[in-house]
Amino acid sequence: MIRTLLSVCIFLAVAACGGDDEGQQVSTQSANTGDQRVAKALFGAAGRPSDQRSEPFGGYARGCQAGAVELAETGPTWQAMRLSRNRNWAQPETVDFVKDLSRFAATQVGWEGLYVGDMSQPRGGPMLTGHRSHQTGLDADIWMLPPKRLNLSRTERENLSSISLRRSAGAYTNDNWSQQHMNILREAASDPRVARIFVFPGAKVAMCNTATGDRSWLRKIRPWWGHHYHFHVRLNCPAGDRGCENQAPPPAGDGCADADRWVRDILNPPAPDPNAPAPKPRRELTMARLPAQCSSVLTSN
């Protein structure tokens, strides 16, 4: 499976496979039948959250969020980056989680805190640029760059770059990788609110090779394309939010053999299968393909 997927992706170039949803099967049946408006244009233009009870609707890569809350642009242990994108919005559980993880980084790891990348748009939904997922207010990108200070100006937050932790196209970590990164990833993966974390394969293997004691948290660390300037945390649907669709849990076990396979395939890419069916072009998400509730999320004050 990985082999086929990887060869298809190499064939298509990374952009087509740089998604961050790890193939969630979405079963949502929309009731917005016939509404062929392009969802990303509508959600991309919504500058404020909906005045509704906080709730995610649909799946991570096909949904929206009601009643989002803002991660403050600056807090005692974090700063939100790239404020011009207006993606520091999420469900309350996600904002709480990010604050908690940043406090851990500041008090247990020796960092100043965390730089927080994209979460979701004020009403979630598909974006005009970037991610496929991050649609329901349950995804958050955390920068790999250890903050030097937490008083960056807006301009600095637009211009500062994160650091990459990979070498050999993600097969291995580079010298920027540290025990601190691992401690933060372990803390995040050990949190019961978290469903999975996406990071480049070399980082997962590095953690597989050095984790001692309880290794169960490794299960939630999922090797994926990209994700060397930041890691991506995905939360479970909050309890009781019935319009929210969880992804199937990661396979049982620590997933280390799977990560080894990713690395082998990076170092020695399998030849494309000449009999593989041509990949289907990705269909634009129209309002008709989103959960019915997303219409009211869009029109609510």
Chain contacts with Zn ion (rule: CB under 5 A):
20, 141, 232
| Distance, C-alpha 171 to centroid of its chain | 20
| Distance, C-alpha 218 to centroid of its chain | 17
Of 141 and 241, which has the nearer Cβ to Zn ion?
Answer: 141
Q: How far is the CB of 47 from Zn ion (least distance, A)?
A: 21
**Strand pairing of 78-80 and 74-75?**
antiparallel
Nearest alpha carbon to residue 201 among 221, 230, 179: 221
Q: How many helices (H) and strands (E) does the chain have?
A: 9, 13
Of 232 and 289, which has the nearer Cβ to Zn ion?
Answer: 232
Residue 221's DSSP bridge partners are 197
Q: How far is the CB of 199 from Zn ion (least distance, A)?
A: 11
Q: How far is the CB of 128 from Zn ion (least distance, A)?
A: 16
Of 30 and 82, which has the nearer Cβ to Zn ion?
Answer: 82
Of 217 and 224, which has the nearer Cβ to Zn ion?
Answer: 224
Q: How far is the CB of 116 from Zn ion (least distance, A)?
A: 11
Of 62 and 287, which has the nearer Cβ to Zn ion?
Answer: 62
Of 87 and 186, which has the nearer Cβ to Zn ion?
Answer: 87
The residue with its CB nearest to Zn ion is: 232
Assign residue 170 a region: left if phi > 0, alpha if psi is -120 to 50, beta otherwise? left
Q: How far is the CB of 16 from Zn ion (least distance, A)?
A: 17
- How many CB atoms neighbour CB 88 within 10 A? 27
Distance (Å, whole) CA 275 – CA 278: 9
Q: How far is the CB of 14 from Zn ion (least distance, A)?
A: 15
CA gyration radius, the chain: 19
